[in-house]
Structure 1
């Protein structure tokens, strides 16, 4: 499974289901279950389904603000993309992983889902 590194505030909102669009400056073709990692923590806090990736116009940005909770003025992307997520699962206890040097967005995770189901 891949893990997405996200600032803690946004990770909490995604895992609570309040934020269903993660705004990024590039597309992703990944789909399926991904781990949610709070940056700097070394821990996976849960999973979500990454379902789609949508390029955003300013119009789409404004009418979907309830999905991403980000001010347009705070974004410095030439073309922002919404990584559409759903079905969040929060782990009862965060699971540690070894963060590879230089990893900023994605981290390849061991089979932590299987470990979580056994505990």
Structure 2
């Protein structure tokens, strides 16, 4: 299973269903279920489905705060040279976070064994 590393407070907003775009500086071809890892915690906190990835213009970014939860005052420019919205849905929070061993060098994705779930 693929694990996506996300910082706080964004991971909480995603799992609460308040954020449906994860803003990234690269595209992803990954679709379907992925688990969410809270950056620095060594734990998996829930899961979502990645349903799309789309390039954003500055106007897209500025007019869609309800999806990415970044204040419009902070949106005077795109956060990355090429900015993408990874569109996610169906968030599920685990009752108890699941610990895992974080591999050295993993920054965005972690390949997790099915046995930990």
Q: Check conservation: 2:3, 2:110, Cα contact below 8 A.
A: yes
Cα RMSD after superposing both structures: 1.5
Distance 1:42 1:19 in 2: 22
Counting only pairs closer than 5 Å after superposition, residues 46-57 of structure 1 correspond to structure 2 as 46-57=46-57
> TM-score, normalised on structure 2?
0.91
| Matched position secondary structure for 2:9 | helix
Q: Check conservation: 1:55, 1:82, Cα contact below 8 A.
A: yes
Q: Which runs of 5+ in 2 are unaligned?
A: none
| Matched position secondary structure for 2:10 | helix
> TM-score, normalised on structure 1?
0.90
Counting only pairs closer than 5 Å after superposition, residues 33-112 of structure 1 correspond to structure 2 as 33-70=33-70, 71-73=74-76, 75-111=78-114
Structure having the higher helix fraction is: 1
Q: After TM superposition, which residue ranges in structure 1, 4 or more long, deviate above 6 angstroms? A: none
Distance apart, 1:111 and its partner CA: 1.1
Of 18-27 and 61-70, deviating more is: 61-70
| Matched position secondary structure for 2:13 | helix
Q: Which runs of 5+ in 1 are unaligned?
A: none
